[in-house]
Amino acid sequence: MEPVAGAWCTTTEVGFRLRDHDRRLASVRLESSVLTGDFRYRDDLRAWELRAPRPAVDRLEYRLALGHPGGGGETVSDPDNPLSHGDASVLECPGYREPGWLHLPQSPGGRREVYVPLPGVRGEMVVRIWSPPEDTDRVVVAHDGPDYHRYGELGRYTAAMIGAGRVPPYHLVLLPPGERLEWYSASPAYARALARDVLPRIAAELGTDRPVVGVGASLGALAMLHAQRRHPEAFAGLFLQSGSFFRPRHDRQESGFRRYLRIVRFTGQVVRAGDGPGVPAALTCGTVEENLANNRDMARALGDQGYAVTFDEVPDAHNWTAWRDSLDPYLTALLQKVFN
């Protein structure tokens, strides 16, 4: 049923409606990475409305750009939609379900912080580590660690899945991004710092020299693959979500990014390589992402080079909830494969 105001989704259509009884607004526009469009004012409803065919997603994050008479405007969340994520409103479609592990008891564990100087990139980081109560030498290391924990709920996933016995116990290491756009853009200096400074310091802290499973999303996924290609001895597996594997044929819209050419050179080298240091790898990407084509290419190339690859397209876009929602079953299956 269509609401008086707010947003709705059916199997074939999405709709948005914003009340404006006195028509104080000059315009309303939907802003989303999935769908954009201008509302029209309906005098019979005394509201602004937009209808569109349903995109290939189960949920949609959006904001409203409001234009005011005489010029000026603002971009806001939908005041008539109580569902939100961060500063965006959220429309959930029929079929969408939150992950079941969000409602599981969590394993208790201990947290610590480890300071790591990074002279090779003229930086430093404070690494956060969560450890389960069980003794283990297994380690998962995540780029964009604080955001993966806060928005992607990777820590909650870890504690829930270990508590439920779905995956073997492991230490979860959250790496802060530092100079993210520089470090995560196929930087040889950062890959070297990760392999020679960060991972050995973590191994010493945890008393293990076992190769790690590397996790990353977007540029963080690109950087994790780049580090594994340059320092394969450090990695036992890869979980890469919506990787920014830019290629000219798909991603010219990204050419203004300062390190675009460095990324393009690296991804081109990987895709053209005859073989590689294969490990189990799981890749996911949203069905409506600009990154979808280059992720398909990368998954195919890695599979041809000896990586045990799974690639799955998820019905969402380039956002933290999409990455959270695809941790299970895809990261779960990877960890079961690598750790058992």
Site of tokens 């036992």? 236
What is the pLDDT confidence band of residue 5, given thresholds at 50, 70 and 90?
confident
H or E element, residue 268:
helix 260-272
* Interacting residues of 225 by C-beta distance below 8 A, sequence separation 6+: 216, 238, 240, 243, 245, 270, 298
The CATH number of 100-339 is 3.40.50.1820
For Cα atoms 201, 203, 209, give the angle at the middle one, nearest 5 degrees: 135
In the numeric block, which tokens belong to residue 149?
């924990």
Boundaries of every domain in the chain: 6-92, 100-339
Sign of CA dihedral 54, 59, 61, 65: positive
Per cent of the chain over pLDDT 70 is 100
Residue 206 pLDDT more than 80?
Answer: yes
pTM: 0.94
More confident residue, 252 or 245: 245
Q: How do residues 52-99 score in pLDDT, each as one tens digit?
A: 999 999 999 999 999 999 889 999 999 999 999 889 999 999 989 999
Residue 152 pLDDT more than 70?
Answer: yes
Q: What is the reported pLDDT for 315?
A: 96
Residue 3 pLDDT more than 80?
Answer: no
Q: What is the reported pLDDT for 1?
A: 61
Per cent of the chain over pLDDT 90 is 94
Fold that domain 6-92 belongs to in CATH: Immunoglobulin-like (2.60.40)
Q: How do residues 278-309 score in pLDDT, each as one tens digit?
A: 999 999 999 999 999 999 999 999 999 999 99
d(CA 20, CA 201): 58
Mean pLDDT of all residues in 139-167: 98
Q: What is the reported pLDDT for 86?
A: 86
In the numeric block, which tokens belong to residue 253?
């819209």
Asked if the domains at 6-92 and 100-339 fall in one CATH topology, the answer is no
Q: What is the reported pLDDT for 234?
A: 98
- Number of H helices and number of E strands within the chain? 11, 18
* Interacting residues of 154 by C-beta distance below 8 A, sequence separation 6+: 142, 145, 148, 172, 174, 215, 324, 327
The β-bridge relationship of strands 212-217 and 139-142 is parallel
Sheet holding 280-286, edge to edge: 110-118, 123-131, 171-174, 139-142, 212-217, 235-241, 280-286, 308-314
Phi-psi region of 332 (alpha: psi -120 to 50; beta: other; left: phi over 0): alpha
Mean pLDDT of all residues in 148-168: 97
Average pLDDT of the chain is 96
In the numeric block, which tokens belong to residue 6?
């707010």
What 3-state class would DSSP assign to 82? coil
